[in-house]
Structures are given as C-alpha cells and as structure tokens.
C-alpha cells in the first residue's frame, strides 16, 4: 500500500465509454449475466456499489478491446481452462468452491444487469486493468494509473491503445455454458499440478506490451526444500524471510522514502507509465496475480 501510494496517478482525462447494450438470445443473455455477476461478486462483493460498477465496466471494456475475447464469459474466464494463467483471479484460485452469500449475490446481479443494459461507469472510463490497493503487481508501472475506486486501483493501456476509439471490437455472442461440472473441472486443472521432479508446481503466462512468456511456478515449501533459482522459474512466496532479509528490505524502503521526501526542484515531472490478467484480485495483463 505504501509503494502504491508513492506512484502518482497520471492526471490524464478519463473519457467515458459508449453504453454497452447486450443483444443476445435468451440462453446467451442468461450465461452472460451469470458470468458478469460472478466477476462482480468474487472480485468486489464487499466493495460499495461504485466499486462493483467499476469492475463491470472493465469486463465490458475488455469485450470491446481488440486484445481480448468478444463475449462476457470468454473475457471473465480467459485462461482459466488451462494451467497457464487466468485473467481474473477468482477463476483459478479456488474461490468458486465457495457458495455465494444470497444478499451479496443479488446486489452483484443487479449491478451486472444494469451494466449489460447500457449503464456506463464514468469514473474508470477506458480502464482494462485493476488490482487491489494492498498488492503490487509487476505490470502496474507499465500502464496509465487512472483512479482508485474503493479498494481497487484502475489502469488503462498507454497512448491511443487505451483511448475509447481503440475499443472497436464487436460482441460476438456464443457465451460459454459454464456448468458446475465444467467449473469443477477447470478448478481441478488449475490446482496442485505436479512437476516432473515431484514438487508442487504449475505454469502461468504473462504478457506485457505484446511480449508473452511462460513461467514455471514452484512451491518452495514442497518436499525437497528450497529450490535453486532458475531462469524461467517463479517461486510462490511461502518461505518466511530471514531476519537479515527483513532488515535489507526495510533498509531499502527507508532509502526509497528518503529519496521521495528529499526536495528536488529541478527534477522533471514524472511521465505517465506504460504497457493481464488481472483479482484480492486484479485484472492483469495476461495473468491475474495478486488480481484481471
């Protein structure tokens, strides 16, 4: 949270998007409404309505942006059916195993229904990414930091790619039939995969500015102890840092804070940042890491 607060908002205009009105048959409409409600509920159930509307707007923005799929369910579940990274964290972190609370689900459904009937959240404009204020995604500095609504910070792509005219994609329909059986299968495929060495591991794919890389994610708490750092391998942060590591981290933060606090009248104004997901959650560049 401290580092997020040190990164300034871009201060650029936030331009509202055109209304999105879902035009689909009864089956596609029901599936789209369910997927949108799931995204709002599992990403922002305890956020104020403003925060839930902002999450819905990100989903709609992705449907229209050339970089993403062209249906509600395809955007929400992008990457969830394979162990290479999901865009919205709840689709691959086991959250769907928990039944929703009825009252909160109804509220999320109301927000979803309005968003699919043309409601436009002007606060987040053309945002396509967000993350919770208490996490620090690797991709955050590569995007334009737009605004914060509730506990989520919202971002858009840089340059013309992040402006409303770029959102020229058309809704294609053919919403996925996400039955409970399919969701259980997806969850099983994204949990507890084993590497050839027997250590608990899985893979994620991260993309920034068009560059896509796949990484192995290894659990250092698995049998065999801490692994040697290998290029192309990421490690889940379960090992407790040593006192010496804690001291080095604190010293680094103190140095950074002194640098931020020091007067620098000749320093130029910071330039806007530039670059999936990804949330708790975030909508990320191509994977949602604490989140798409």
The per-residue pLDDT for range 10-23, each reduced to its tens digit, is 999 999 999 999 99
pLDDT band at 235 (very low <50, low <70, confident <90, very high): very low
pLDDT tens digits, 191-217? 433 233 333 455 555 554 455 566 566
Q: Give yes or no for a contact between 278 and 137, defined as CB atoms under 8 angstroms apart.
A: yes
Strand, coil or helix: 82: coil
Q: Give yes or no for a contact between 155 and 12, defined as CB atoms under 8 angstroms apart.
A: no
pLDDT for residue 58: 98
Q: In a 10 Å sphere around its CB, with 0-12 CB exposed, 13-18 middle and 19+ buried, how is residue 67 labelled? A: middle
Runs of H (alpha helix) within the chain: 2-6, 26-44, 49-64, 72-76, 102-115, 180-189, 243-261
Degrees to nearest 5, angle at CA 112 with 182 and 63:
70
Residue with the larger pLDDT of the pair 272 and 158: 158
d(CA 114, CA 56): 10
Q: Is 238's pLDDT higher than 80?
A: no
pLDDT tens digits, 142-192? 999 999 999 999 999 999 999 999 999 999 988 987 755 555 554 444 443
**DSSP character at residue 266:** T
Q: Nearest 5°: phi and psi at 138?
A: -60, -30
Q: What are the residue ranges spanned by the domains of the chain? A: 2-190+275-283
pLDDT for residue 176: 82
pLDDT band at 287 (very low <50, low <70, confident <90, very high): very low
Residue with the larger pLDDT of the pair 13 and 222: 13
pLDDT for residue 237: 47
pLDDT band at 275 (very low <50, low <70, confident <90, very high): very low
pLDDT for residue 47: 96
pLDDT for residue 253: 72
pTM across the whole model: 0.66
Residue with the larger pLDDT of the pair 253 and 229: 253
Q: Which residue has the tokens 């191509």?
A: 286
pLDDT tens digits, 90-105? 888 888 888 899 999 9
pLDDT band at 248 (very low <50, low <70, confident <90, very high): confident
pLDDT band at 36 (very low <50, low <70, confident <90, very high): very high
pLDDT above 90 covers a percentage of the chain that reads 49
Q: In what order do the strands lie in the sheet with 233-235?
A: 201-208, 211-218, 233-235
pLDDT for residue 179: 57
């Amino acid at each position: 949270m401290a580092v997020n607060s040190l990164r300034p908002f871009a201060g650029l205009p936030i331009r509202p998007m055109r209304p999105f009105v879902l035009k689909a048959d009864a089956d596609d409409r029901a599936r789209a409404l369910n997927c949108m409600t799931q995204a709002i509920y599992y990403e922002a159930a305890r956020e104020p309505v403003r925060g839930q509307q902002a999450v819905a707007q990100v989903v709609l923005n992705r449907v229209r942006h050339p970089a993403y799929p062209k249906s509600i369910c395809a955007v929400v579940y992008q990457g969830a059916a394979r162990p290479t990274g999901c865009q919205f964290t709840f689709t691959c972190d086991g959250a769907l195993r928990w039944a929703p609370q009825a009252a909160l689900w109804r509220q999320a459904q109301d927000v979803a229904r309005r968003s699919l009937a043309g409601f436009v959240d002007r606060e987040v404009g053309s945002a396509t990414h967000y993350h919770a204020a208490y996490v620090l995604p690797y991709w955050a500095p590569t995007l334009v930091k737009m605004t914060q609504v509730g506990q989520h910070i919202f971002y858009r792509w840089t340059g013309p790619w992040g402006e409303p005219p770029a959102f020229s994609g058309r809704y294609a329909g053919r919403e996925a039939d996400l039955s409970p059986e399919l969701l259980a299968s997806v969850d099983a495929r994204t949990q507890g995969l084993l590497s050839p060495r027997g250590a608990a591991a899985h893979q994620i794919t991260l993309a920034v500015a068009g560059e896509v890389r796949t990484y192995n994610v290894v659990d250092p708490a698995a049998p065999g102890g801490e692994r040697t750092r290998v290029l192309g391998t990421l490690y889940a942060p379960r090992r407790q840092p040593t006192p010496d590591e804690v001291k080095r981290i604190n010293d680094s933060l103190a140095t950074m804070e002194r640098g931020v606090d020091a007067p620098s009248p000749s320093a130029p104004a910071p330039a806007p940042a530039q670059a999936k997901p990804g949330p708790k959650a975030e909508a990320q560049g191509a994977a949602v890491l604490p989140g798409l």
